[in-house]
Amino acid sequence: MNLSEIRQITDACWDADLLPRLVEYIRLPAKSPAFDESWAAHGHLAKAITDAEHWARAQGIAGMTLEVVSIDGRTPCLFFDIPSTHGLGEDRTVMFYGHLDKQPEMSGWREDLGPWTPKIENGKLYGRGAADDGYALYAALTVVRAMDATRMPRPRCVGLIETCEESGSPDLPAYLRKLAPRLGQVQLVVGLDSGCGNYDQLWVTTSLRGLVGGVLTVEILQEGVHSGSASGIVPSSFRIARKLLNRLDDVDTGRLLPEGFHAAIPDERIEQAQAAGVILGDSIWKQFPWVGCNHGPDAHAHAMPTTTDPVEAILARTWRPALSVTGAEHLPGIAAGGNVLRPKTSLKLSLRIPPTVDGERAAALMREVLESDPPYGARVKFSGGHGATGWNAPPTASWLRKAVDAASQAAWGRPAAWMGEGGTIPFMSMLGEKFPDAQFLITGVLGPQSNAHGPNEFLHIDAVKRLTTAVAGVLTAVR
């Protein structure tokens, strides 16, 4: 597979056009609706879609139809449809997926960086959303342009770019129903919203965990009271919350206790984790910004992971459930915290579940575990509990496996690698149900230290260039 001409075209597009576009995109605080209740009034999501639409129309792709699709009360989507070339026919379709909404700001950014302050430094574009996942549309249409410019035969390509993925894609089912007659028979889904184990080869995502989120609220008093007067008689709402969380996971190991949150790991996924573990080694856990050390060869580790075994670490973050507390309310800041026994505590919970566990069933189980038999008769509520089912890829067709390896060799000089990811893309389970016979190329540029959703998020520029070239290579094999 010789992609040198494709690489020249795509690299030039990135340098001259796409990077400047993403710089402007980063400046846009296009937060997902879950983090901006007034998203419609603010208009940032609409501008992100409109800017992408205007750019796409200017690409001059022959035969492309492009439309901003809107449903009242829902976030907008961008849909494109591009006919095949060189007589390949319209019976087989490649579907591209991406999103333009973003996570919120998050604290802890480097002083000279910020979520809406783009900066290119050492081959990285810093700022919120470029890697997750603003680049997807621009890369997808650049693939099409490059293939057409080099007269490489190309299948029909459609694309769906949404604006509520970071909120769990609540609007997407309605758009899939609306657009279903226009999608055709999808043979290959290309999702550019995933991760990579390193920046040295093409990584294919084989599975994604699901997610259960909600808010646990524990209320024991009608109002705050003097802690000296009441403590010892009135139990702390925070202690009750701790006791309830202990029903979910083992405080020493983090293992989820209810078996309903677990699933058997397929043998193929274990084998892929073993192969990925050989490639990544200790970098699978050393990539994170641990407190008190840099984990260099002479460093003393003050903070350590739950396991240092690479294979176990991969399986822990891709096929095993894990609970996190991601937010809290009714806790005053330290300066404002007086000697008061607070009436209630609220904790925002995020539970990652294995790819094959049903999200709604897991949400119901979580509610039952937390709300049943409340300690001390406290008022306990798990509100907003919603579940998103994960995704496990179907068996990979031999043509796709060969094409992926060839494209990785052409773009990086190394074979492709296969690994599950710990995040959630609700779209994948939806599309997997809709197109059970489709193949999936789920990949991305969220590699070590890229820190999606957190401070100092970046897009690795060389990796995204090579990925664009590799995707073009894979499309040459679709017949």
pLDDT tens for each residue of 95-151: 999 999 999 999 999 999 999 999 999 999 999 999 999 999 999 999 999 999 999
Q: What is the pLDDT of residue 425?
A: 84
Residue 301 clears pLDDT 90, i.e. is over it: no
Share of the chain above pLDDT 90, in %: 89
Write out pLDDT tens, residues 322-378: 999 999 999 999 999 999 999 999 999 999 999 999 999 999 999 999 999 999 999
Residue 67 Cα distances to 53, 163, 200, 296, 477, angstroms: 8, 14, 36, 51, 28
Write out pLDDT tens, residues 187-221: 999 999 999 999 999 999 999 999 999 999 999 99
User: What is the assigned CATH class of domain 4-208+390-475?
Assistant: alpha beta
**The model scores a pTM over 0.85:** yes
Other beta carbons less than 10 A from residue 428's beta carbon: 27
Residue 300's pLDDT band (cuts 50, 70, 90) = low
Residue 78's pLDDT band (cuts 50, 70, 90) = very high
Sequence-distant (≥ 6) Cβ neighbours of residue 1 within 8 angstroms: 406, 407, 409, 410, 473, 476
Residue 75 CB-half CA count within 13 A: 34
Q: How far apart are CA 143 and CA 473, in angstroms?
A: 9
Residue 374 Cα distances to 128, 237, 465, angstroms: 40, 11, 54
Find the angle CA(191)-CA(195)-CA(198) to the nearest 5 degrees. Answer: 135
Write out pLDDT tens, residues 140-190: 999 999 999 999 999 999 999 999 999 988 999 999 999 999 998 899 999
Q: What is the pLDDT of residue 328?
A: 97
Write out pLDDT tens, residues 364-389: 999 999 999 999 999 999 998 889 89
Q: How far apart are CA 436 and CA 393, in angstroms?
A: 10
Return the higher-pLDDT residue of 268 and 1.
Answer: 268
Question: Where are the domains positioned within the chain?
Answer: 4-208+390-475, 210-263+319-388
Residue 430's pLDDT band (cuts 50, 70, 90) = confident
Provide CATH code, domain 210-263+319-388: 3.30.70.360
Helix (H), strand (E) counts: the chain: 15, 18
Residue 45 clears pLDDT 80, i.e. is over it: yes
Q: What is the pLDDT of residue 257?
A: 98
Q: What is the pLDDT of residue 444?
A: 97
Tell me how long the chain is.
Answer: 479
Token reading at 122: 């050492």
Is there a contact between 39 and 184 (Cβ–Cβ < 8 Å)?
no
